[in-house]
Amino acid sequence: QVKLVESGGGLVQAGGSLRLSCAASGTIFRFNTMAWYRQAPGKQRDLVADITTGDSINYADSVKGRFTISRDNAKNTVYLQMNSLKPEDTAVYYCYASRLSSFYWGQGTQVTVSS
């Protein structure tokens, strides 16, 4: 079955950078959309950024100019480069992928930004 595995989370000081990766396995097909969501304690899960097979990209207003999403279709992998991190970026970051009527979530990776 399809599995998404995130990596790259951790603890960083404000102003620092992290790069998240999400590798998909269990399928030879390319996902139409790959995305990153995040969920802070006590809050809903929100979209951070998404990217389609045509490289159409959307960002949440709160991360524009600081985060960059990219994908490697040959590896079925999506990345999130996070720069100028702020304490309010602290959350569990989830990878998401969809194709036709199916969608999948990763298990999440913790990102903590200290002030």
- Asked if 113 contacts 87 with a C-beta cutoff of 8 angstroms, the reply is yes
Residue 85 has what pLDDT?
98
pLDDT at 28 over 90: no
Phi and psi dihedrals of 11, rounded to 5?
-105, 130
Q: Rounded mean pLDDT of 33-55?
A: 95
Band of pLDDT at residue 29, cut at 50, 70 and 90: confident
- Asked if 115 contacts 14 with a C-beta cutoff of 8 angstroms, the reply is yes
The two three-digit tokens of residue 56, written as one number: 């159409």
Band of pLDDT at residue 54, cut at 50, 70 and 90: confident
Cβ neighbours for 15, distance < 8 A, ≥ 6 positions apart? 84, 85
59-75 per-position pLDDT tens digit = 999 999 999 999 999 99
Share of the chain above pLDDT 90, in %: 90
The closest alpha carbon to 108, from 14, 13, 1, 22, belongs to 22
Band of pLDDT at residue 36, cut at 50, 70 and 90: very high
DSSP string, 8-33: --EEEETT--EEEEEEEES-SSPPSE
